[in-house]
Every structure is written in structure tokens, then in C-alpha cells.
Amino acid sequence: MRIKVLTPEGMAAIRTSLLAFCRKYGDRRITHRALRWFYQLPNTRWTEGTWVAIATEERQLVGVIAFGRYGLEESFIVVHPNYRKRRVGERLLNHSLKSLKKVYTRVACDNTPSLKLCFSCGLVAFRLIRGPTGKQTLCLAGGDWNPDEVPWGTANSA
């Protein structure tokens, strides 16, 4: 398996196929807001902490991971069902931690596979909130993170 970090220009060339992959294999867990954010990422320069990578095997797309502002804006991961339980998610998330040095994400409490992935990669849960879909949601972080950077669950929640 190969992991490739995308540039804004590189993503622009395959954005449509990445969105189709996320819609098809995201198990309806990727919010419309997150997909809209992904679609609207500029084709030139991204803000600090915005990062997208793909995993491929024999030239086939098997996974996508994305962070906007280290995950404070948006974050998601999608792995093709045929490649789940093969450590694709772990490799993508660990690669993001090495590249970004810190990541933040929100995961609905009923999303057991994503929670297992986050905990297996060393992320820690630090807050329980009502998420964008109204579900109980854990705020998680990894690397050199700071809870003071996180607006979720505070008076000025995003």
C-alpha cells in the first residue's frame, strides 16, 4: 500500500473521484458540511494545517483522509470496505500525525470503528458534545495538541 500526500493542485485533478469515493464508502457518516468543505478546498494554497492524503494499492484508491486546520475546521477518513481491518486507516492517521504534529477530530459515540481507529493511534478523548448531526460526540486529539485551541463544546462552539 502506498500513501500519497496531495497538494492543492494534485487534488484538483482528482477531486471529483475523491468525492465520489467518500460518498460511496463513507457509510453515510461523513456530513454534508464536511463533503461541501472538501469540494470547496481551493486549487492553490490551503490554510495552515489543511492536509489531504490518499492510500492506494495497485493503483486503486483504497482510502482518503482529510484535515482542515488540523481538524478544527473539518476532518474525516474513508476506507474502502474491502480494505477495512487491514490497517489502512491506522497508516493514514499515523501518517497525518507525523506530518501535521497534531490533529483534532469529532466522532459520534455510535461510530465504534472510528473510535477504535482513533484510540489505536493514540488519540485521546477530552470532551463530550452534541455533534453536528445531533448525536453525542467525542472530541479527540493527538500529537502536540492544546485544548485551548478547540472551540467545540465551549460558549463559542462551531
pLDDT of res. 131: 87
Q: Count helices and strands (H / E) in the chain.
A: 4, 7
DSSP element (H, E) containing 74 = strand 74-79
pLDDT at 154: 63
Q: What is the rounded CA–CA span in Å between residue 22 and residue 121? A: 22
Q: What does the alpha-carbon distance between residue 6 and residue 14 come to, in Å, rounded to a whole number?
A: 10
Grid cell locating 55: 492510500
pLDDT attached to residue 15: 95
**pLDDT by residue (tens digit) across 38-50?**
999 999 999 999 9
The domains located in the chain, with CATH, are: 2-149 (3.40.630.30)
pLDDT of residue 133: 82
Tell me the angle at which helices 112-120 and 88-100 cross, rounded to the nearest 10 degrees.
50
Write the DSSP symbol of residue 72.
T
Dig out the grid coordinates for 136 from the structure.
453525542
Give the whole-number percent of the chain exceeding pLDDT 70. 97
List, for residues 62-80, the tens digit of each pLDDT value: 999 999 999 999 999 999 9
Distances (CA, A) of 52 to 68, 109, 127, 147: 9, 24, 25, 23
* pLDDT bracket for residue 25 (50, 70, 90): very high
Q: Is the pLDDT of residue 157 over 80?
A: no
